[in-house]
Amino acid sequence: MDTHHCETGFDPELITRYDGRGPRYTSYPTALQFTPDVDADTYSENARNSNSAGLPLSLYVHVPFCEALCYYCGCNKIVTRNAARVARYIDALCREIEMQGGLFDRSRVVEQIHFGGGTPTYLNAEQLDRVFGQLRDSFSLDTSENRQFSIEVDPRTVDRERLEELTALGFNRLSLGIQDFDPEVQQAINRIQPVGSVEQLVADARELGFDSISFDLIYGLPRQDPERFARTLDATLAIRPERLSVYNYAHLPDRFRSQRLISEADLPSAAGKLEILGATIQRLTDAGYVYIGMDHFALPDDDLAEAQRDGSLQRNFQGYSTHWHCELIGLGVSSIGSIGNVYAQNAVKTQDYEELIESGTLPVRKGMVVDYDDQIRSAIIQSLMCYDKLSFSQIERAFDIRFREYFANELANLDVMEADGLLERGEGSIRILPRGRYLLRNIAMVFDRYLGNTPVERFSKAI
């Protein structure tokens, strides 16, 4: 092995060998375990009960619309220009916000908001204003500097004037869908956004006081090769966003219709993808980014890196996040919330979502009440995915168990991974080694008690 791979622990051979399919663990148990047992009544009762602990809140708001189709897309979205359709959705969303707001004490401050999609900036100023106004009427939003209000932005739909509107509403963080700066790649995925316009947008955002800007990049897209992606990284590092996510493109044309518009002959090979990923990790590390875990990188003074140092990092439905103490409310079609020991997901079809709300019912369609064993395993998986380590005594203190007895099988199942240099087991701990950091989900899977009954093709590939 050359030193290039030693520094970051990136080992293509090892990654290829372990490359199975597995959950991304944005929750444990994962959404695949949700059942209709959790309905609007269970959710409401649980939400009201949560007021006695009075934890602060985090809101996720889903806007499913997009103006044009990106061919690689695997999201739950609606490409439309039908204004009546959008208006009906906004009415339903505002009504849901009002109903949800009625469940929570106003003393519970909303410290974190994330607008995701689809394309949240599909909504015009007036529409966004209305949704945000409803949030303000129904919840107590944090007005301090500590608030984290973020929105996913499609750079093609936003200019300086729109950024000004967003700051006026209270947004202070942006997440930009970049994917790749190469014009040929952009053409092959039907998403044209010149690097110059992104540079200008980021310069404007910084001038307007947005404190954290995040870029999403994707590797494995059609027409990509290591040289071209290196140029995308040059442009990215020149802009130097505080956070970077580098996602794997999973080509699953049978599951996602839009991906049939991508020519398979244009896709990089598996080896080519690994080369791009390895080089990317090396470049970002050399440029001073901290590898947070899974697909996420951050500059050392960004909140995410700070949270990893001070122990307040968590994994949730948005990936990695700070503010672990907040309870999460999901608003909008398909959104997932997590309150106390209940996960709840809204209807995933827009029509179903709207009809439920129009009939006066909260649109919760499924979810899960997590039991004691789920909570223990969830804490273990969080620790491994956020901090690359696990202390048995910490788990024993939080839950009344003897770790070595309770997890005797799991610990034995780590033998091969230890022999492969992914991790190191001490007397009372597990430490993930650099080689294991790109295989976090494989390690977490050892502690997942549900995997046996989930068909493996339901998961995306790790790399």
Among 23, 101, 118, 155, binds ligand SF4 (CB under 6 A): 118
| CB 370 within 8 Å of CB 38 | no
Verify binding: residue 250, ligand SF4, rule CB under 6 A. Answer: no
Among 38, 57, 73, 326, binds ligand SF4 (CB under 6 A): 73
User: Which of 85/106 has CB closer to ligand SF4?
Assistant: 85
Question: Could you give the angle at which helices 83-101 and 350-358 cross, rounded to 10 degrees?
Answer: 50
Element containing residue 79 per DSSP (H, E): strand 78-79
Among 9, 23, 116, 117, binds ligand SF4 (CB under 6 A): 117
Verify binding: residue 70, ligand SF4, rule CB under 6 A. Answer: yes
| CB 362 within 8 Å of CB 99 | yes
Stretch that binds ligand SF4, among 66-74, 201-209, 326-334, 422-430 (CB under 6 A): 66-74
* Integer angstrom CA distances of residue 97 from 60, 102, 261, 338: 11, 9, 37, 16
Stretch that binds ligand SF4, among 117-125, 180-188, 321-329, 424-432 (CB under 6 A): 117-125
Task: Tell me how far apart the alpha carbons of residues 73 and 233 are, in angstroms, rounded to a whole number.
Answer: 22
**Closest Cα to residue 106, out of 138, 133, 131, 142?**
138
User: Which of 69/235 has CB closer to ligand SF4?
Assistant: 69
Helices (H), 208-320: 226-239, 270-286, 303-310
* Exposed e or buried b per residue across 380-401, where buried means at least 16 C-beta atoms within 10 angstroms of its C-beta: bbbbbbbbbebbbebbbeebee
Task: Tell me how far apart the alpha carbons of residues 41 and 37 are, in angstroms, rounded to a whole number.
Answer: 10
Residues numbered 307-336 forming contacts with ligand SF4, rule: CB under 6 A: none
Verify binding: residue 69, ligand SF4, rule CB under 6 A. Answer: yes
Task: Tell me how far apart the alpha carbons of residues 438 and 420 are, in angstroms, rounded to a whole number.
Answer: 13
| Type of residue found at 318 | Q
- Name the token pair of 261: 């518009």
User: Which of 112/193 has CB closer to ligand SF4?
Assistant: 193
Among 77, 273, 365, 377, binds ligand SF4 (CB under 6 A): 77
Residues numbered 145-174 forming contacts with ligand SF4, rule: CB under 6 A: 154
Verify binding: residue 119, ligand SF4, rule CB under 6 A. Answer: yes
- Name the token pair of 319: 């990936």
Stretch that binds ligand SF4, among 69-77, 160-168, 200-208, 308-316 (CB under 6 A): 69-77
Verify binding: residue 66, ligand SF4, rule CB under 6 A. Answer: yes
- Residues in the interface with ligand SF4 (CB under 6 A) total 11
User: Which of 121/378 has CB closer to ligand SF4?
Assistant: 121
Tokens 């230890």 label which residue? 418
Q: How far is the CB of 8 from ligand SF4 (least distance, A)?
A: 28
Interface residue list for ligand SF4 (CB under 6 A): 66, 69-70, 73, 75, 77, 117-119, 154, 177
